[in-house]
Each structure stands twice: as C-alpha cells, then as structure tokens.
C-alpha cells in the first residue's frame, strides 16, 4: 500500500470511529454516571425540597438513567453557588444547578460579589413562575392601595437590603404607598408570627406558592388580606386583588416594574455552566422539561405543596435574562437605588 493510500485509509478509519463517539456524546454519555445537582440554599427549605423532588424523577428522562445527587451550597443569597457554577464547576455536563431567582440579576444591580455573566449560562428550565403580594393581617383596617397611600402601615423584613425590603421600597416608589419597614426578623416565619401577634401590620413580599405551602389555613380562613400583587402573570387564586401594573401610566415605571419582577418571571431556575457541549445541554433541557410534565413528579410536587404551576422553557428563560440586561441605563440606576438605598 502506498503512503498516500495508507494516509487515506487512516483518515477513513478515524472518520468511521468518530461517528459512534459523536453519537455517544449525548445519548450514551450519562450511562453509569452521577450528575451533581448544586442547590444554592441550605437543606430543608423550599428550594432544597424542590431540587430533591426533581432529582428523584429526572433520571428516567435521561438516556442511561444516571444518578442525580443533590449538593447544597448556601451562601450570600445564592451567589456562592452561582459563582461556583460559572467559574469552577465541570463543563462536561455532569453538573447542573438550581439557584435562587435573584442571582441571575445580581450583576445588573451592581453586586460586586457576583462574579459571573448570566447571559452565558445554559438555561435548562424552571418548573414555575412566582407571584408576589403585599398582605396585611385580617384585623388591619387599611386593605386597599388607596388606603395605604393615605395611611402608614408597618411591614416586617429581615434586613435593609433583603428581598422584602426591596419590594416594600419598590411599591413605595411605584404606587406611593406609605410602608414603614421594620427590620430584624430572621426570616419569613418570624415575620408571619409578628403579624399574628400584632407587632406589624403586614408583609411586603410573600410569594403565592410559599403562602399556599406554609400557611394554607390563612388562605382558607381569610386570615390575611391581599392589598396588591405583582408578577409575570396574575394569580387567579388571589381573587380580584389588583396588580401593580394596573396603576402605572408612565412607560418608565412599567420598565422599572418589568426589570424588578424579572426574578419572579424566572421562577425557580435550573441551569448548566457555560461551555458544556451543546448536545448535552439540549439533552438535559429536554429531560428537565419532560420531568416537569411527568405525572409522577407533578403528583409528588402537589403532595408537598411545592407550587409547581407553569414551567418556563429554556428559551423563555434566556429571553427574560437578555431583556433584563437590555434595560435602559436610567432605569437600571433607579433599580439599583431601590435595591441598595445606602449606595454600598
């Protein structure tokens, strides 16, 4: 055989051997493997419970039925895990992340600790969106937007830069509400107890899914009143509670609201690091969305009151993030001022 023929034969052999390898890169890659699901919250909370429920059902929708092991990585409101997923996690398709919905937008708010570019993540799906509400205890007499524009009410929060404080300031900015923020409550549960005791009038940022999961009796027995709601879609179970958008007439206010509620629209996002081979990303996207439609998963999620409602596709998630980062600079500055009034 001539040298030329040997080279051609070798090239042909390489091309033939490459075909199965390429085919296996996604369909057969996961067989016998373990996928690490990094969760940006501590064990036992709502994000963790959801992640472990997904982890039980996801493998049957992935060729090769790999094991999915949940790894908790709490810290800095989800930023620690998100930094890890962007900068350190393996890019072979064996790491996925479930992060708090605020983390993709921390760079937009100028958070220095957020060392990642959310636009470069590979989004693989979210099981739901969130709707937030300003609620007051049933004995409070000021229960409408007009009431709270004229009369001050107290609302509880954990800290000045926490999510409840942010939404309280947002509602004040957009609607002219008189909300006095009382900080120092460790978490949502303590804030709820404060309402029951009459220490505060209400709470500025309860998500409907959380209210239904943690205080279903409040809904059933009308223990709280809903002043106004905000989110990507109106929560039908909140009855005729008005939306913030109904009161807005200025385009700049509408843009501010859209940017502010982008995390709620994203829901409870799942992602893969940047740089993962495209075919493995596509396989995981398909598997995740199939899990969200799985009757067994939905039954377990309903039993656990996880608030799974309308899944967000990877394409929708990417669009939400890209649109948020295309927000006009003047609106971003306004958003940053509301998020961090002290300017730190």
Bigger pLDDT: 17 or 265? 265
Question: What pTM was estimated for this model as a whole?
Answer: 0.83
Final residue before a domain boundary, out of 262, 293, 308: 262
Q: Note down the domain range covering 198.
A: 132-262
Q: How many domains does the chain have?
A: 2
Cβ contacts of 181 within 8 Å, gap of 6 or more: 154, 155, 157, 160, 164, 165, 168, 169, 204
Final residue before a domain boundary, out of 262, 291, 315: 262
- In this prediction, what percent of the chain has a pLDDT beyond 70? 92
The predicted structure's pLDDT at residue 343:
67
- In this prediction, what percent of the chain has a pLDDT beyond 90? 76
> Over the stretch 132-188, which tens digit does the pLDDT of each residue have?
999 999 999 999 999 999 999 999 998 887 889 999 999 999 999 999 999 988 888
Assess whether 140 and 119 both reside in one domain: no
> Over the stretch 223-282, which tens digit does the pLDDT of each residue have?
999 999 999 999 999 999 999 999 999 999 999 999 999 999 999 999 999 999 999 999
Q: What is d(CA 246, CA 54) in angstroms, rounded to the nearest whole number? A: 36
Assess whether 85 and 195 both reside in one domain: no
Q: How confident is the model at residue 312 (pLDDT cuts 50, 70, 90)?
A: very high
Assess whether 102 and 250 both reside in one domain: no
Final residue before a domain boundary, out of 262, 288, 322: 262
The answer to whether 83 and 112 are in contact (CB under 8 A) is no
Q: What is d(CA 179, CA 44) in angstroms, rounded to the nearest whole number? A: 32
Q: What are phi and psi of 41, to 5 degrees?
A: -130, 170
Assess whether 246 and 318 both reside in one domain: no
Q: How confident is the model at residue 17 (pLDDT cuts 50, 70, 90)?
A: very low
Residue 312 covered by a domain? yes
The answer to whether 301 and 127 are in contact (CB under 8 A) is yes
Q: What angle do CA 55, 58, 64 make, to 5 degrees?
A: 115
Q: Using the CB atoms, write b or e for 121-155: b if 16+ within 10 Å.
A: bbbbbbbbbbbbbbbbbeebebbebebbeeeebbb
Residue 1 covered by a domain? no
The predicted structure's pLDDT at residue 159:
83
Assess whether 108 and 159 both reside in one domain: no
Residue 165 covered by a domain? yes
Q: Mean pLDDT over residues 35-41, rounded?
A: 95
Assess whether 203 and 312 both reside in one domain: no
The predicted structure's pLDDT at residue 1:
47
């Amino acid at each position: 055989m001539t040298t030329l023929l040997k080279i051609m034969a070798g090239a042909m052999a390489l091309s033939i051997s490459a075909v199965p390898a390429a085919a296996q890169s996604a369909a057969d890659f996961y067989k016998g493997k373990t996928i690490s699901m990094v969760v940006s919250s501590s064990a036992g909370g709502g994000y963790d419970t959801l992640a472990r429920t997904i982890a039980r059902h996801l493998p049957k929708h992935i060729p090769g039925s790999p094991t999915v092991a949940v790894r908790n990585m709490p810290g800095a409101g989800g930023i620690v895990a998100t930094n890890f997923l962007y900068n350190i996690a393996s890019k072979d398709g064996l790491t996925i992340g479930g992060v708090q919905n605020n983390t993709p937008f921390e760079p937009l708010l100028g958070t220095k600790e957020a060392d990642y570019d959310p636009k470069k993540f590979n989004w693989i799906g979210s099981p739901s969106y969130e709707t937030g509400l300003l609620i007051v205890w049933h004995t409070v007499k000021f229960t409408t937007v007009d009431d709270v524009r004229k009369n001050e009410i107290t609302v509880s929060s954990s800290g000045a830069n926490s999510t409840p404080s942010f939404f309280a300031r947002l509602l004040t900015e957009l609607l002219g509400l008189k909300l006095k923020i009382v900080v120092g409550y460790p978490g949502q549960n303590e804030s709820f107890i404060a309402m029951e005791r009459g220490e505060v009038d209400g709470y500025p940022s309860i998500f409907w899914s959380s209210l239904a999961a943690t205080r279903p009796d409040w809904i059933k027995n009308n223990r709280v009143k809903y002043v106004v709601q905000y989110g990507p879609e109106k929560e039908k179970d909140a009855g005729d509670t008005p939306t913030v958008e109904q009161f807005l007439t200025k385009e700049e206010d509408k843009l501010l609201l859209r940017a502010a509620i982008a995390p709620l629209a994203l829901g409870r996002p799942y992602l893969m690091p940047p740089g993962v081979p495209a075919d493995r990303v596509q396989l995981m996207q398909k598997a995740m969305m199939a899990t969200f439609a799985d009757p067994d998963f939905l039954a377990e999620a309903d039993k656990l009151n996880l608030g799974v409602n309308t899944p967000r596709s990877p394409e929708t998630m990417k669009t939400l993030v890209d649109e948020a980062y295309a927000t006009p600079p003047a609106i971003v500055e306004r958003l940053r001022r509301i998020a961090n009034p002290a300017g730190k």
